[in-house]
A and B are shown apart, each in its own frame.
Chain A
Amino acid sequence: MYKFLKWFLFWCVLWLSLPARAALDPALLAPFAGDDSAAKADAVTALANTPDPLVDALYKALSEDSLFTLPDGQVIVFDGEKYIDAATGGALTTEPEAPESVIVNNVVRGALESAVALRGLAAADPAARLAAADALKERADPSFLPALEAALEKETDAAVKEALSRTTALLQLVSPDKAVKLAAIERLSVSRDRNIREALAPLAEAETDSELKAAFKTALDAIDFRLSVANFFTNVFSGLSLGSILLLAALGLAITFGLMGIINMAHGEMLMLGAYSTYVVQGLFRDYLPGAVDWYPLAALPVAFLVAAGVGAIMERTVIRHLYGRPLETLLATWGLSLILIQAVRSIFGPQNVEVANPVWMSGALDLYGVVLPYNRLVIIGFAFFVLAIVWFALNRTRMGLYVRGVMQNRPMADAIGVPTARVDMMAFALGSGIAGLGGVALSQIGNVGPELGQAYIIDSFMVVVLGGVGQLAGTVVAALGLGEINKFLEPYAGAVLAKIAVLVLIILFIQKRPSGLFALKGRSAES
Chain B
Amino acid sequence: MIESQAMIERRLFSPLGWTLFTIIVVLGLTMPLLHVFVPEGSTFHVSAYTLTLVGKILCYAAVALAMDMVWGYAGILSLGHGLFFALGGYAFGMYLMRQIGRDGQYQSALPDFMVFLDWKELPWYWAGTDSFLWALVLVVAVPGIVAYVFGWFAFRSRIKGVYFSIITQALTFAAMLLFFRNDTGFGGNNGFTDFKRILGFPIAAAETRAVLFALTVAYVAGILVFCRWLTQSKFGRVLAAIRDAESRTMFVGYDPLPYKLGVWTLSAVLCGIAGALYVPQVGIINPSEMSPANSIEIAIWTAIGGRGTLIGPLLGAGIVNGAKSWFTVSFPDLWLYVLGALFVISTLFLPRGVMGLLGKTPWGKKA
Q: A502-517 CB contact bits vs B (8 Å, 1 = yes)?
A: 0011011101110100
CB within 8 A of B171: which of A346, A497, A508?
A508
Q: A220-246 CB contact bits vs B (8 Å, 1 = yes)?
A: 000000000000000000000000000
Beta-carbon contact of B343 and A515 below 8 Å: no
Determine if B161 is an interface residue (Cβ-Cβ < 8 Å): yes
Q: A448-459 CB contact bits vs B (8 Å, 1 = yes)?
A: 000000010011
The interface residues of chain B, by DSSP majority, are classed as helix
Determine if B337 is an interface residue (Cβ-Cβ < 8 Å): yes
Q: Chain A interface residue count: which class?
A: 35 or more
Q: Bound state CA distance, A180 and B343, in angstroms? A: 78
CB within 8 A of A336: which of B166, B170, B342?
B342
State whether A343 and B336 are in contact (beta carbons under 8 Å apart), knowing that A332-B343, A512-B154 are contacts in the complex: yes
Beta-carbon contact of B174 and A505 below 8 Å: yes
Q: B291-327 CB contact bits vs A (8 Å, 1 = yes)?
A: 0110010011001000000000000000000000000
Beta-carbon contact of B178 and A497 below 8 Å: yes
Beta-carbon contact of A331 and B344 below 8 Å: no
Beta-carbon contact of B166 and A466 below 8 Å: yes
Residues of A within 8 Å of B162, CB to CB, are: 263, 327-328, 331
Determine if A340 is an interface residue (Cβ-Cβ < 8 Å): yes
The interface residues of chain A, by DSSP majority, are classed as helix
Residues of A within 8 Å of B163, CB to CB, are: 466, 511, 515
Residues of A within 8 Å of B360, CB to CB, are: none
Residues of A within 8 Å of B170, CB to CB, are: 459, 462-463, 504, 507-508
Beta-carbon contact of A515 and B157 below 8 Å: yes
Determine if B249 is an interface residue (Cβ-Cβ < 8 Å): no
Beta-carbon contact of A333 and B180 below 8 Å: no
Beta-carbon contact of A508 and B167 below 8 Å: yes
Determine if B340 is an interface residue (Cβ-Cβ < 8 Å): yes
Determine if A25 is an interface residue (Cβ-Cβ < 8 Å): no
User: How many residues belonging to B are interface residues under a CB distance threshold of 8 Å?
Assistant: 43
- Point out which of A319, A323, A346, A512 has the most chain B C-beta atoms below 10 A from its C-beta: A512
Beta-carbon contact of B303 and A332 below 8 Å: yes
Min CB–CB distance A338 → chain B (angstroms): 7
Beta-carbon contact of B292 and A459 below 8 Å: yes
Min CB–CB distance A323 → chain B (angstroms): 7
Q: Bound state CA distance, A347 and B150, in angstroms? A: 40
List CB contacts (< 8 Å) of B341-363 with chain A: 341-344, 346-348, 351
Chain A residues engaging chain B, CB cutoff 8 angstroms? 263, 265, 319, 322-323, 326-333, 335-340, 342-343, 346-347, 455, 458-459, 462-463, 466, 497-498, 500-501, 504-505, 507-509, 511-513, 515, 526-527
Chain B residues engaging chain A, CB cutoff 8 angstroms? 77, 150, 153-154, 156-159, 161-163, 165-167, 169-171, 173-174, 177-178, 180-181, 247, 292-293, 296, 299-300, 303, 333, 336-337, 339-344, 346-348, 351
Q: 12 A-B Cβ contacts within 8 A?
A: A330-B347, A339-B340, A458-B292, A459-B169, A459-B170, A463-B170, A466-B167, A498-B178, A501-B178, A504-B171, A504-B174, A513-B157
